[in-house]
């Protein structure tokens, strides 16, 4: 006869409470908790005489609590976060200052992917085989690095890119010239350039510089720490997954050629991103942040 297992509700609650604590508050010199740590804390407190790690894991899994995982988070600290982010979201919805954009208005999302290394593996990469994944040698020789600058036309789904030895004002200027010197942008009414606050295009001086070079261009800055609102970052994430990981590239010439070849391949089937994050979503997000701050202060 199998005796059914009995789990007192109080113990389950204690397990989940411990899992939701920061290790420092428990006096533990850990960065995060794992199942053995939670088990040790239960035994140390005398809450149970014995308990298995499997049981603890099962209770946490049923409640989707994963204390051993974490997510990076940048707290919004720009005092004008909502206003700056809002106008970028308006541009994605083809609005500017309360008015719809015209047929000769364009929205460009631009940024730089910095310090892309060419890592030449010490032994050749092996392709997948039956019951074996692809094998990439751990050791490699550094063959230099370059920066990839890209501009994404959010409405037309066009991608423009160039490789430079480094980032900076002049490399970004060359990217702008590359785009603005071609049609339909050269004869457009307005071309809005959405950028972050990197040193290549930071501050009021960058706004003046762009307008002086191209009178129909408008530089629109994102809030500080808000690159996740920049659509070109989606394209960069695709490059990272499909071109650069794993990184087995003989030299900078091969790296540059691979980036440009992928750019052409991507352009063949490119479509505008289905951007769904709106001003309403932004307001809800910032309200949650405000509520959390109030709870912490209470």
DSSP per-residue string spanning 102-144: -TTEEEEEEEEEEEEEEEEESSPPBPPBTTB--B--S-EEEEE
As a whole-number percent, the residues of the chain with pLDDT over 90 amount to 86
CB 151 within 8 A of CB 273: no
Supply the pLDDT for residue 7. 66
Spatial CA neighbour of 248 closest among 163, 135, 162: 135
pLDDT in tens, 76-132: 888 899 999 999 999 999 999 999 999 999 999 999 999 999 999 999 999 999 999
CB 222 within 8 A of CB 84: yes
Residue 297 has pLDDT above 90, yes or no: no
Angstrom distance (rounded) from CA 182 to CA 189: 14
Delimit the domains of the chain by residue range: 9-62, 81-124+138-280
Angstrom distance (rounded) from CA 191 to CA 169: 19
pLDDT in tens, 205-220: 999 999 999 999 999 9
Q: In degrees to the nearest 10, what's the CA dihedral of 238, 243, 245, 250?
A: -160
pLDDT band at 168 (very low <50, low <70, confident <90, very high): very high
pLDDT in tens, 247-290: 999 999 999 999 999 999 999 999 999 999 999 999 999 998 88
Domain spanning 81-124+138-280, CATH architecture: 2-Layer Sandwich (3.30)
Angstrom distance (rounded) from CA 271 to CA 157: 5
Spatial CA neighbour of 236 closest among 206, 263, 274, 205: 263
State the DSSP H helix or E strand holding residue 5, giving kind and residue range, or none if neither. none
Comparing 248 with 294, the larger pLDDT belongs to: 248
Question: pTM for this one?
Answer: 0.84
pLDDT, average across residues 153-170: 97
Spatial CA neighbour of 67 closest among 112, 31, 115: 31
Residue 67's SS3 state is coil
- Beta strand 140-153 with 105-121 is antiparallel
Spatial CA neighbour of 247 closest among 132, 115, 71, 72: 115
């Amino acid at each position: 006869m199998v005796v059914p297992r009995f789990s007192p509700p109080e113990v389950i609650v204690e397990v989940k409470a411990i899992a939701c604590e920061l290790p420092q508050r428990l006096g533990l010199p850990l960065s995060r908790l794992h199942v053995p740590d939670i088990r040790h804390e239960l035994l140390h407190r005398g809450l149970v005489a014995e308990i298995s790690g499997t049981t603890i894991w099962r209770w946490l899994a049923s409640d989707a609590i994963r204390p051993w995982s974490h997510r990076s988070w940048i707290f919004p600290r720009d005092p004008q976060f909502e206003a700056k982010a809002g106008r970028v979201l308006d541009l994605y919805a083809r609005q500017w200052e309360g008015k719809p954009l015209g047929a000769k208005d364009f929205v460009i999302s631009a940024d730089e992917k910095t310090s892309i290394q060419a890592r030449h593996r010490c032994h050749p990469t092996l392709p997948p085989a039956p019951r074996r994944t692809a094998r990439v040698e751990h050791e490699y020789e550094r063959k230099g690095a370059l920066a990839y600058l890209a501009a994404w036309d959010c409405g037309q789904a066009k991608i423009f890119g160039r490789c430079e030895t480094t980032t900076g004002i002049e490399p970004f200027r060359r990217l702008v010239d590359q785009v603005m010197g071609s049609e339909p942008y050269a004869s457009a009414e307005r071309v809005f350039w959405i950028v972050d606050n990197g040193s290549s295009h930071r501050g009021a001086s960058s706004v003046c510089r762009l307008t002086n070079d191209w009178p129909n261009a408008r530089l629109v800055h994102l809030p500080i720490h808000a690159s996740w609102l920049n659509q070109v970052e989606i394209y960069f994430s695709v490059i990272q997954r499909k071109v650069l990981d794993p990184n087995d590239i003989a030299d900078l010439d091969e790296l540059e050629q691979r980036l440009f070849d992928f750019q052409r391949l991507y352009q063949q089937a490119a479509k505008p991103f289905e951007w769904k994050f709106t001003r309403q979503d932004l307001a809800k997000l910032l309200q949650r942040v405000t509520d959390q701050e109030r709870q912490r202060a209470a």
